[in-house]
Each structure stands twice: as C-alpha cells, then as structure tokens.
Amino acid sequence: MIFVDNKNGLIGDVLGTFPTIQTLSKKDTVIVKVHPESKHLYDLIKSPKILIVDSFGDLFDNKLITLDCSIAFSIAANKNYYMTQAFMEEAELEVPNNPPKAKLSWKSIYISKEQFEIDYLLSPFARSLTEDQKWPIDKWLELVRALPDKKFGVLGNSKYDEKNIWQSEKNVVPLYDFDFGTICTIYKYVKCLISVVTGTSHLAFHLGVKNVLLTNQTMTWGNNPDAIKLTDYIPNITVQQVIEKL
C-alpha cells in the first residue's frame, strides 16, 4: 500500500493532486489522508484502489508521500509547471510534458429545464483572492445586461457570497451550494465558464470545458492551461473584451 498525506489545499489544489493519486493507484492501493472539508471532492474519483481516511494512525510501514501545496508551488515556480505537473514531481513520478487531467466520474444527476438551458456559467467569487484579483461585481452585472438573450448561471456559496445582487436580472439563475456532481453535470451543457482564478476554473480544465479566464497571474501554476486568458489588471478588463472571447 501507498500512503498519501493530502490534508491541505483549496479546491483547485485538491483537484491538482488527483492525477498523481490516480497514477499511484495503478501500481498499488492508495490510502489518502484528507481534510474533512475536502472529502466530498473525492467522490469524483471513486476507485476501489483509492481509500479515503481522516487519519492514518500508527499502522503503516509503506511509503508515505506528502502532497504539500507550498512545495508544489515552489516546484512550479522553478520549472514553470502547472499544478498537476508539480504534484507529479513532488511524488517522484514521471512528469508529462502536457499538464495531466484527472479522470472524473459522477452519478448522472437530474437538472431542471432552467439549469439545462444555461448558456454561460459565471464564477465571480473567490475567497482566496484580493480585491485587485477580482472583477468588480458591477462588471458582472454589466455583462449579463449586455447579453439579454443569453441565460447565465452563477456559481456561489450562500454562506460567503452575496445572492441578492442577481434578483433583478431575469436572465440569471443563481446556482449556490450545489454538490460537485450536479455542478459537473451542468458544466457539460454550457457553452463556456467565465471566471477568475479559482477552483471552478481548474474544474473546467479537468472536464475539458471552455473557460474564459480573467487573470493577472503570469506563472503557470494558478492558471487553467486550456483557458482563453484575459491577462491584465483585472478591474480594468472591459465587458466588451470578455464578450469578444465568447
């Protein structure tokens, strides 16, 4: 058995470790220690050879691999790696030239007609970003008003993200507090995700979904390598620039 300590990291970081964990599971059973708040993410990579635990105890003699985000970040900075490549190197695996994607699977989940008909997903919120790394909410509103014939779904968390701002927008469907299986299902029906640098962008990468990414990051680590990037001081990005990328 292989023991993997993967107890830290945000959603994007946890997704970034999945190709490493799945590669390891081709060789042996992998016991993965996770943070309880990240446990639900592992529902997307269910495998009889990947066992999820909250703690190891003192009962292992086999190889212990630690997937530490700060170490992976340093590797990425030195070698210009995307996060999935950096975690591969941290685990002493062969690093592919192209960033590997996780193999995700989820139960087929019914979504309503209203959700099925969404044209574009919006992901404006990210608790880990400073204000200068976000697009002002007024511009998100300007975007949906500029395309009144399109329907937008907004991803959010009602505990942290304002929901009432969308009440007057007839072409906006709030998608707050959805489980990842439902979100993955919705991703497969939309034309594009429009986002800042956050876990939803990384999920789009792994699912092969078009992503218009508003970013000021120049290093590979934080960006979706498949994204259509608008790289600038983010508050200065215009609605017209975003529309041109759609």
Model confidence pLDDT, tens digit, residues 148-166: 999 999 999 999 999 999 9
Residue 97 lies in a domain: no
Count: domains in the chain: 2
CATH number of the domain where residue 120 is located: 3.40.50.2000
121, 224: one domain: yes
Q: Please state, in angstroms and rounded to a whole number, the distance separating the CA atoms of residues 77 and 209.
A: 26
79, 122: one domain: no
60, 149: one domain: no
16, 74: one domain: yes
Any idea of the CA torsion for 234, 237, 243, 245, to the nearest 10 degrees?
A: -70
128, 237: one domain: yes
221, 170: one domain: yes
Contacts (Cβ under 8 Å, ≥6 apart) of 6 = 14, 17, 21, 32, 33, 34, 67
Residue 95 lies in a domain: no
220, 164: one domain: yes
125, 204: one domain: yes
Residue 152 lies in a domain: yes
Q: For each successive 10 residues of the chain (246 residues), what is the average pLDDT? A: 89 95 95 90 93 78 86 96 97 97 90 85 92 94 98 95 94 94 93 96 97 92 94 96 98
Residue 104 lies in a domain: no
Query: Strand 64-66's sheet: what is its strand order?
Result: 50-53, 30-34, 2-6, 64-66
11, 70: one domain: yes
pLDDT on residue 37: 83
For the entire predicted model, the pTM comes to 0.93
Angle at 58 between CA 56 and CA 62, to 5 degrees: 80
Residue 108 lies in a domain: no
Q: Which residue range forms the structural domain that includes residue 142?
A: 113-245
Q: Please state, in angstroms and rounded to a whole number, the distance separating the CA atoms of residues 146 and 174.
A: 18
130, 76: one domain: no
153, 71: one domain: no
pLDDT on residue 175: 95
119, 189: one domain: yes
